[in-house]
Structure 1
Amino acid sequence: MTLRLSSLRRQLAPIRSVCRKAQGGLARLRGDASGNVIVIAAAALVPLLALVGSGIDMGRGYLAQTRLQQACDAGTLAARKRLGTQVAVNGAVPDAVADTGQRFFNINFRNDAYGSRNRQFAMVLEEDLSISGTATAEVPTTIMGVFGFDKLEVSASCSAQIDMANTDIMLVLDTTGSMMWTNPGDSETRIQALRRTVKSFHAQMEANKPIGTRIRYGFVPYATNVNVGHLLRPEWLVDSWAYQSRRARAAGTTEERETTEGRYTYVSGSFTDSPQTIQTTCPTDTVIHVIEAEWKDGDGWTNQRILERGIDYTCTQVDTNRFQVTARTFNDHRFIWAFRVTGTETVAVADWRYARTTVNLDFLRTSNSTTMNIGGTPSSPQPVTVTYRGCIEERDTYEISDYNNVDLNRALDLDIDRVPNPNDPATQWRPMLHELSFIREIRTNGMGMFTPGVVTSQYEFVNAWWWGFSVCPSPARKLAEMDAASVANYVDNLIVNGSTYHDIGMIWGGRLLSPTGLFAAENADSGRSPTNRHLIYLTDGETAPLDVSYASYGIEPLDRRRWRLTSSRTLTQTVESRFSFACEEVKKRNIQVWVISFGSGANPIMEECAGRDRYFVADSAAELEQTFSDIARRMGDLRIIN
């Protein structure tokens, strides 16, 4: 019997007829009161038995029906959760889906529950990717069997779906040079795997989005810095800024200089050159030069007998953490160096003055580029096109010693919600002009030292941009609804280059997603519906800053805004400490942070940021895709829709 109240009433009609006949007989007996107590009691037993029996069996039936409905719901929920969101992309239904649903149904409604028999449960995948189920069972009667009703048929129907609420998703993506590597066992590079996976993730999210729901996507590619300038209002940028650059000394200036000649005479000992090697650090020189004697000849020559002992290293940087090293070993090498003045000559001054150079940025009102005479030679400086590509130097900050007590009135870079004051340059960002970034006094042969003060020299010092130590990633994108073509076009054109600065990615991911900061008006909840906010942070490597880079805090050893060579923390530790602090600031905005380490193993600071249940390690392209599918599924609300 189907356990619905209307059906029960129809099936119990014969019992009610018996009761009415019994009531008629009792009415006739009321006319003759002598000796009829036993008759009345016997006649009453039949309807009483029917009423009590139907109540008992109906109660069992209702309990079985309720439990069956719960089991049906549990089965479809479990199956829909196991199905996930990836089916929207590849159409593949995992074999375990049906088994998972059946097991959850069986656990919640066992075959003999309430004495039931012939338990059945079936599921169907609908076109909208919901899973529908039907369940039936038979519950034998007890007392009602006397009246011809030997079983009750109970049934239930159910359906489960993953729905997406209004959702904002900011994807902070590591686009450093190592994303061009291929993980062991993969046939595609990391960046290729990332591009494909992000497209799949977008498809899954959109396929599970109910009508009327808003899902927006934003992107922050990061490496040595971030490219966000095109998202900033003009009044959020400074009017002028001092860059670590150079200028030729006054044109036309001359000076008298002595002319000399010299000669070398071998005395004793030797020196040998070792083959070039590749090392992770540049060794420290051990060579000593001692002038043992000095005398003058009658013809004006000054003679010096010099002793050399030890090893002299010449280092040329190959990439981020490797040097090409040549060693010359001096074995008590003695020689005489003689020199004398031969006269004087008038020469034009041909020096570069390397120092912080203030640049008026008015040209940015009409153009992204200008020219400056920083190329060529000191005697013939040549114009170089200086271009603003959208990367920025951070606003004011300080060297933090205690990250449990950060003063956000000083560390303005870590105050992710602070809106710049157009009248206060400390709160504003500074356009990066990469071509201006000269690193004094690091020479092009890799030798030299960092000198914060002014240096006047004929030498060519390293320009961070020309030597690949200052890159500008692909432009970031604010939150917006995006179709599949827009997402594909964006991720397929991501630039891959640069070093790994994790903090700047987290800072700007939080700024572009926060509902209470720079873009509060755009990031507010839509209508009366609350918005779920998620930041997905993907990296393929350890923190790897370079002291020679021109990045978001300038050239670190020269600008010394947050770190200097004498700091108690290394530059890497400084970046990681700021990353961790920025992550906590992001989570304070009720933003769920998910972190993925792709092809690089576990990273404790990343796990601490996201928490164990939202931190993933993906060693291959397949694991990366599965990770994004898991995140998509967990972003949705699994619910019963019937």
Structure 2
Amino acid sequence: MSAAWVSGFVSIKRLSRYLIAAGRGLAVEQRGNVLILTAAFLIPLLALIGSGIDIGRVYVARSRIQQACDAASLAGRWAFSQGQATDTATAEALKFFNFNFKQGSFGTASFTPSVTVTGTNTKVVTVSASTTLRLTIMGLFGFRPMTVATTCTAEQNFVNTDIVLVLDTTGSMKDKATSSDTQTKIEGLRAAVLALFDQLAPIQTQLAAAGMRMRFSVVPYSQTVNVGKLIYAVNTGYMRDPAPYRQKVCSSTGWNNNCNGYTYPATSVSHNASWFTNTWNGCIEERQTVSTITASTSAIPAAAYDLDIDRIPDSDTTRWVPYDGDAETANSQEACPQAAKRLQSWARADLVTYLNSLTPDGGTYHDIGMIWGARMISSAGVFADSPATYNSMPTNRFVIFMTDGLLSTNSTLYSAYGMEKYDQRVTGGDLSTQDARHHQRFNLMCSAIKNRGVSIWVVAFASSLDTNLTNCASNAGQASTSANSTDLTTKFVEIGKSIGAMRLTQ
């Protein structure tokens, strides 16, 4: 409370004592008048009530000016992040201030807020405002108008930023989200990713100017992922060769030598260097896992090397197997998405070309997508692409997971886990639990990523969010649905704004 208010209250207290003493004197002398006494006591009572009213007005005015100041500084700083000049950013800040606090509100005197900008690469916007508020009732007792002032500062604290996009490119992405959409879902996804890139482009430029970086990785997924040639480029010994594949073998023949039955034994197949370089599409089968993971499993088993994010291959059980549809002849359904991309800085034209190459096909195995999202964003492991710091500055890390459907597996698909009907790597033979077991692998991987300080966003496109998808996100606000292509673009822009958000520093 200000000295003026304290002084005022002391004066009122003295006045009250004087009037009470005078009233007692009147009563003793029996010459008092009820009307006089009532009037005497009304004066301090009015002063006390009036002080409460005026203090309330001052409090509300100060709060509203503070809110306007915060909004103005953030708006000005955001204008800079979009590449605007100082004059434009200043005008934007003033516009937001005046929108949130009208001149004359709550009886304040007319004033003009000031906006100052400091810094070269890292702009800091400071907004200051000061005015006076005329006291309605306490003014009758000689109190002068009170000063209401505030100062607020907004800046964008630049840090290195790594973003991994784990994108569902399964067969249903060739459809439209709604009949009214002009684009298929894969076309809508391309537009949304570009909108995210464009939203963050000014910040990417400013980071580069400050000696830092913003990078993107893309992991398209279906029933497997296409990361094999990335692994092979790091170390050819990380791929297992020879490797076992299920092959269709005639088990019996009839009188005319036609085959009456088949078996599908695991048969060792070797590949030469030319096959790896020229023939192989790059998709992989995951390394050794265990079939003991169920819906209630709470920790990753030690022998589940497929879920070990950072383990460097040192034996056949820890190496990846080339996905080879020619070798896997057990009447399985194949699908291999577009090759994934490691963390890198992108030119927009290159990103457009890459996104246009994404082709919908295959089943929906969320776990394999998130497993490789984890490996791409990891600071260790086979790629070790995302160190905690770069140029002595920290790195913020994000995974954006987009799917157009709930997890859906099939025992006859040739997936990253072979052909489950015969290989039984995930279910151990209980095929009825296949989806539930893959769900839990997905859940375990989401938890492992978040435990590393990585922020996860989950977007369901033309689909609902189940508990697994919702819980995968870092918080409830980072799990959402998009009903159509326009909504998806809007959501990706919102994510971009959050990743590049400013903060108030005062």
TM-score by length of 2: 0.72
Q: Which amino acid aligns with 1:182?
A: K
Once the 2 structures are TM-superposed, how far is the Cα of residue 186 of structure 1 from its aligned partner? Answer: 1.7
Is the contact between residue 387 and residue 395 of structure 2 (CA under 8 Å) also seen in structure 1? no
Distance in 1 of aligned mates of 2:454 and 2:222: 23
Distance in 2 of aligned mates of 1:207 and 1:628: 16
Distance 1:188 1:557, change over 3 A: same
Matched, 1:583 2:474: no
Is the contact between residue 249 and residue 349 of structure 1 (CA under 8 Å) also seen in structure 2? no
Matched, 1:175 2:169: yes
- Which position in structure 2 is the counterpart of 1:74? 70
Q: Which amino acid aligns with 2:463?
A: S
- Which position in structure 2 is the counterpart of 1:192? 187
Once the 2 structures are TM-superposed, how far is the Cα of residue 248 of structure 1 from its aligned partner? Answer: 7.3
Give runs of aligned pairs for residues 179-258 of structure 1, distance below 5 A: 179-184=173-178, 185-209=180-204, 210=206, 211-212=209-210, 213-232=212-231, 233-246=235-248
Q: Aligned match of 2:403 in 534, 539, 547?
A: 539
Is the contact between residue 343 and residue 376 of structure 2 (CA under 8 Å) also seen in structure 1? yes
SS in 1 for 2:394: coil
Is the contact between residue 580 and residue 605 of structure 1 (CA under 8 Å) also seen in structure 2? yes
Once the 2 structures are TM-superposed, how far is the Cα of residue 238 of structure 1 from its aligned partner? Answer: 1.1
Q: Kindly, what percent of the aligned residue pairs are identical?
A: 28
Is the contact between residue 222 and residue 361 of structure 2 (CA under 8 Å) also seen in structure 1? yes
Is the contact between residue 77 and residue 123 of structure 2 (CA under 8 Å) also seen in structure 1? no
SS in 1 for 2:183: coil
- Which position in structure 2 is the counterpart of 1:384? none
Hey, which of these two has a bigger chunk of helix by percent? 2
Distance 1:87 1:497, change over 3 A: farther
Is the contact between residue 162 and residue 633 of structure 1 (CA under 8 Å) also seen in structure 2? no
Q: Which amino acid aligns with 1:398?
A: V
Once the 2 structures are TM-superposed, how far is the Cα of residue 117 of structure 1 from its aligned partner? Answer: 0.8
Q: Which amino acid aligns with 1:604?
A: T
Q: Aligned match of 2:297 in 387, 399, 404?
A: 404
Is the contact between residue 295 and residue 440 of structure 2 (CA under 8 Å) also seen in structure 1? no
Once the 2 structures are TM-superposed, how far is the Cα of residue 242 of structure 1 from its aligned partner? Answer: 1.4
Hey, which of these two has a bigger chunk of strand by percent? 1
Give runs of aligned pairs for residues 337-356 of structure 1, distance below 5 A: 354-356=263-265
Matched, 1:436 2:327: yes
Structure showing greater radius of gyration is 1
Distance in 1 of aligned mates of 2:98 and 2:360: 47
SS in 2 for 1:511: helix
Matched, 1:482 2:373: no
Distance in 2 of aligned mates of 1:388 and 1:246: 21
Q: Aligned match of 1:117 in 100, 109, 129?
A: 109
Once the 2 structures are TM-superposed, how far is the Cα of residue 497 of structure 1 from its aligned partner? Answer: 0.7
SS in 1 for 2:326: helix
TM-score by length of 1: 0.58
SS in 1 for 2:283: strand
Distance in 2 of aligned mates of 1:224 and 1:528: 39
Any idea what the Cα deviations from partners look like across 1:585-622, whole Å, max 9, x if unmatched? 11111110110001112222100111312101111122
Any idea what the Cα deviations from partners look like across 1:545-599, whole Å, max 9, x if unmatched? 12110111100010011114435x5221121111111111111111101100011
Any idea what the Cα deviations from partners look like across 1:213-251, whole Å, max 9, x if unmatched? 30010010001110000111211111211111136799x
- Which position in structure 2 is the counterpart of 1:552? 416
Distance 1:125 1:499, change over 3 A: farther
Is the contact between residue 222 and residue 505 of structure 1 (CA under 8 Å) also seen in structure 2? yes
Distance 1:78 1:103, change over 3 A: farther
Is the contact between residue 163 and residue 636 of structure 1 (CA under 8 Å) also seen in structure 2? no
Give runs of aligned pairs for residues 507-522 of structure 1, distance below 5 A: 507-520=371-384
Distance 1:523 1:486, change over 3 A: farther
Is the contact between residue 72 and residue 133 of structure 1 (CA under 8 Å) also seen in structure 2? no
SS in 2 for 1:510: helix
Distance 1:438 1:564, change over 3 A: farther
Is the contact between residue 161 and residue 640 of structure 1 (CA under 8 Å) also seen in structure 2? yes
Q: Which amino acid aligns with 2:294?
A: S
Is the contact between residue 136 and residue 155 of structure 1 (CA under 8 Å) also seen in structure 2? yes
Distance 1:102 1:570, change over 3 A: farther
Distance in 2 of aligned mates of 1:478 and 1:352: 45
Any idea what the Cα deviations from partners look like across 1:99-140, whole Å, max 9, x if unmatched? 76445556xx9845xx851034488999x9989686655549
Any idea what the Cα deviations from partners look like across 1:128-177, whole Å, max 9, x if unmatched? 998968665554999xxxxxxx9999998877455652100000000011
- Which position in structure 2 is the counterpart of 1:269? none
Is the contact between residue 74 and residue 503 of structure 2 (CA under 8 Å) also seen in structure 1? no
Let me know the Cα RMSD of the aligned residues.
Answer: 4.1
Distance in 1 of aligned mates of 2:352 and 2:116: 33
Q: Aligned match of 1:368 in 244, 257, 276?
A: 276
Give runs of aligned pairs for residues 415-426 of structure 1, distance below 5 A: 415-421=308-314, 424-426=315-317
Any idea what the Cα deviations from partners look like across 1:155-207, whole Å, max 9, x if unmatched? 98877455652100000000011111112232111111110111121111121
Q: Aligned match of 2:489 in 608, 620, 625?
A: 625
Any idea what the Cα deviations from partners look like across 1:433-471, whole Å, max 9, x if unmatched? 1122233xxxxxxxxxxxxxxxxxxxxxxx32xxxx211
